Amino acid sequence: MHVRQAPLSRPVLWPYAAGLLLLWLGSMEHPFFWDSLQQASRVAHWMYEGRGSGLSLPAELDSGHPPFFGWYLAYIWSLLGKELWVSHLAVLPFIAGIFWQSQLLVRHYLPAHAFHVGLLLLLLDATLLAQMSLVSPDLVLYFAFLWAWYSQVKDRPLAMALAGVLLAMVSIRGLFLLLILWLFACWRKRGLRALVGNSWPFVPALLVAFGYYGWHFGQTGWWLSTPGENWGQQRGLVGPAGVFRNVAVLGWRLLDCGRLLAWLLLAGLLARKLWMRSALDDKSQELLAMGTAYLLVFGPVFLLLSNPIGHRYLLPLFACASLLLVRMLLSFRPNRRSWLPLCVGVILCMLSGNFWIYPRHISQGWDASLAHWPYFELRDQMIRHIDSQGIDLGQVGSEFPNLGPIDWIDLNGRREQFAPKDLKKQQFVFYSNVFNDFSDAELAELEAHWKPLQLYEKRGVCVVLYGKIDN
């Protein structure tokens, strides 16, 4: 299939840029949420308040990831002030970079008449939209991956080297993404001479990685598997039952947040290709190779370790699958009237993912869609109510992501904090269905022996202040 490049013009791109800008403006006062609390706010506070210097982190903050993003955020705070809008401003360049690299990849892989469908599929992924509304280091990671990917297919080794360094500086997962990109490069150009040519752009990133992790080992005595109780238990090997559970969770993550129709269509089209013994075209093979490399590298990590499988970890795979889906539809249904309705259905299904909310007994990836947005307003209302009742926040039990000084979350200077929940000792509990760490037994205990003193609810999200019933 011949791929004709879409013309680069403002009418093609400005509506997407405007939409992403509106998303950013709508979230620029949102507090820190979910894992951005650890990898962004807590580390940045440590740097900003001058309690740490350079790359050193205390054991309770050191999850093994390089602290580049926290250092970067602290530096932006020092220039413009420690404000929520400043924090969101800090990630705006990476949102712009994701948008730019996404449209370049769409132009590379899809014909001009499918450009808009392809770009919408990439940008309207519920998990990507959610991450763009947060102060998330995964935005840096995803941008760097897209940049490196496009640099490879366009044979730009210097850009690949720069993107690789950024991957190595942000997260442990960046190292795995580097391995995926290297495998993809080796697949594209085979042979010993090509192997050398494929490998040198990765050298700067490897130097950065070896330099940091070598220094880190000298400081702490461990490499990637931290002995800290907060993360060490998440990186252990699992048994057969754990592998089976991880397979189920991974399948759920792939289909979750509105992606069900997309994966069913893609699986059906690939099966049909296999049944017909029809070869994939070159660019479809590229996309399949990238997706296969991703599964080869991350598959053992997801299935054999106890580390939770976050939706955002799968963003590179979602991008490959979306582009491949459009190419497959075009190959089987060249008539626009036959493939466009299917793509519209996939896009609408993806958008619906921002409204998927499970019963409270089922843990949900709340940072994987925009469904969490009402929580910020409801939480603020509940804190004001607790203050108005003269209740000390330290006497109220709560759970992640509502723990730690209020200032870490809201950047408002308040040092008070909720206490980790203990239903046997506390008289008040702040609960939300956004919290995944209330067990079924604890939820039953709240229903049986606690009274809801205040409830706020909006679009499927609730926050409740419980008071213990005197026996």
pLDDT given for residue 3 in this prediction: 47
pLDDT given for residue 69 in this prediction: 94
Paired with 431 in beta bridges are: 464
Quick one: which H or E segment has residue 75? helix 68-80
pLDDT tens-digit series, residues 305-318: 888 889 999 999 99
Whether pLDDT at 225 is above 70 = no
Nearest to 397, CA basis, from 462, 334, 465, 321 = 465
What is the arithmetic mean of pLDDT over 244-256? 94
pLDDT given for residue 229 in this prediction: 55
pLDDT given for residue 76 in this prediction: 97
pLDDT given for residue 53 in this prediction: 61
pLDDT given for residue 20 in this prediction: 97
- pLDDT top residue among 391 and 471: 391
The DSSP result for 210-256, as a single string, is HHHHHHHHHHHS-SSS--STTTGGGGSB--HHHHHHHHHHHHHHHHT
* Average pLDDT along the chain: 90
Look-up of token digits 């963003």: 315
CA distance 104 to 284: 16
Residue 221, token pair as written in the block: 């005595």
What is the arithmetic mean of pLDDT over 371-397? 97
Whether pLDDT at 7 is above 60 = no
What is the arithmetic mean of pLDDT over 191-206? 82
Single-letter amino acid, residue 465: L
Whether pLDDT at 451 is above 70 = yes
Nearest to 276, CA basis, from 268, 265, 284 = 268
Whether pLDDT at 8 is above 60 = no
SS3 for 431? strand
Whether pLDDT at 222 is above 80 = no
Alpha carbon distances (Å) from 445 to 25, 395, 423, 465, 468: 40, 19, 8, 14, 10
CB 297 within 8 A of CB 187: no
For residue 278, what pLDDT band results from cuts at 50, 70 and 90? confident
